[in-house]
Amino acid sequence: MTSQRPSVSGTARALTAGTVLSAALLALGFVCGLARLASVANLLSTAGVVALLTTPAVGLLLTFIELRPGYPRAAMLAVVVLGVLGVATALALLAR
């Protein structure tokens, strides 16, 4: 273990970028819906939801990569949470 805090700048950037991207896509989808461009609105809104749902998974993956050298136990917890998200997603898709 190191005495300094690990750099998690990649995680922070991924979470910020994913949030901004999903918000922008959802806002554009909303505007296109108001403009009665239904197919474009549907495409943009779907892309926004996908970006919103994948953002935490990417953040957890980067957390694992960034914490692995100095904090292997914390890194493995990120993998466990990622696994739980994967199982929950699979169960939700199977229950449709």
Examine residue 4 and state whether it is found in any structural domain, yes or no. no
Residues 30/35/39/45 CA torsion (nearest 10 deg): -10
**Cβ distance 62 to 10 under 8 Å?**
yes
Domain of residue 49: give its range: 9-94
Domain count along the chain: 1
Examine residue 65 and state whether it is found in any structural domain, yes or no. yes
Examine residue 39 and state whether it is found in any structural domain, yes or no. yes
- 12-60 per-position pLDDT tens digit: 999 999 999 999 999 999 999 999 999 999 999 999 999 999 999 999 9
Examine residue 62 and state whether it is found in any structural domain, yes or no. yes
pTM greater than 0.85 (yes/no): no
Examine residue 89 and state whether it is found in any structural domain, yes or no. yes
Q: What DSSP state is assigned to residue 16?
A: H
